[in-house]
């Protein structure tokens, strides 16, 4: 019998329970795979930048491609003023990408399939961008809620819509990543259950769907990391370059 497809998202403690001031700080499987993702990024970039060969090996080539990819994304989306924030956006992109990709491995845990993880990332980005906006422009940053060229009669309505749109950024950013990763992994588990239930004779069709869906999920894992990073660049561009 196929197991519950939602069971793969359950969080359980690893090791002793740790509580400080009533807050549970126990190490969990989610914590473990976040550490694995961060350590994998550090190791990969260390190996990719250790020797700096003129003719790069595969690891150095991939490292340079990822570096150039993110650098171009920042330049095209937020301009030259955003260059000082490259380390943060690159780290964010790599962390989300590795969490997504590692979650594709058998028996692995998909950290980004939990709304609390994606929401914390999105809230951090939202607060950081807002602080940067006020640091750069002061209270003039509030003009982002007042688009230029809008008729005065519509200005109150448009301003309210702009404020709601701005405040909903962390929600949309977090839900988009969480929903895509959870839905994809749930579908993989469901089709995998069909393969086991139908056996050798009837399981070929769901097996084919599972293989195709796995390829699609790998693409989605990359695309969602890209979307998360490029939306961060767009929000940063709004903070650095007021267009209103």
The pTM is what?
Answer: 0.87
pLDDT digits (tens, 9 = 90+) for 106-149: 888 999 999 999 999 999 999 999 999 999 988 888 888 887 77
User: How many angstroms separate the Cα of 22 from the Cα of each of 14, 15, 117, 234?
Assistant: 19, 18, 21, 39
Rounded Cα–Cα distance for residues 209 and 236 (Å): 39
Domain segments of the chain as ranges: 7-240
Give me 56's structure tokens: 């790069």
Rounded Cα–Cα distance for residues 98 and 104 (Å): 10
pLDDT digits (tens, 9 = 90+) for 145-199: 887 777 888 888 888 999 999 999 999 999 999 999 998 888 888 877 777 776 6
């Amino acid at each position: 019998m196929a197991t519950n497809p939602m069971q793969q998202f359950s969080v359980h403690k690893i090791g002793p329970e740790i509580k400080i001031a009533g807050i549970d700080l126990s190490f969990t499987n989610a914590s473990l795979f976040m550490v694995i993702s961060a350590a994998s990024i550090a190791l990969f970039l260390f190996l990719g930048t250790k020797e700096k060969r003129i003719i790069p090996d595969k690891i150095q080539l991939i490292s340079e491609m990822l570096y150039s990819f993110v650098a171009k994304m920042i330049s095209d989306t937020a301009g030259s003023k955003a260059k000082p924030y490259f380390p943060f956006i690159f780290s964010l992109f790599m962390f989300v990408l590795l969490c997504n990709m590692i979650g594709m491995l058998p028996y692995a845990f998909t950290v980004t399939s939990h709304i609390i993880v994606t929401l914390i990332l999105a809230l951090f980005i939202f607060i950081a961008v807002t602080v940067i906006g006020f640091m750069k422009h002061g209270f003039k940053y509030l003009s982002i809620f007042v688009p230029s060229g809008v008729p005065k009669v519509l200005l109150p309505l448009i301003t309210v819509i702009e404020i709601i749109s701005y405040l909903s950024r962390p929600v949309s950013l977090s839900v988009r990543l969480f929903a895509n990763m959870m839905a994809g992994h749930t579908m993989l588990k469901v089709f995998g259950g069909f393969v086991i239930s139908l056996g050798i004779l009837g399981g070929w069709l769901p097996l084919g769907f599972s293989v195709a869906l796995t390829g699609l999920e790998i693409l989605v894992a990359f695309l969602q990391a890209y979307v998360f990073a490029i939306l961060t660049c767009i929000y940063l561009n709004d903070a650095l370059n007021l267009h209103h």
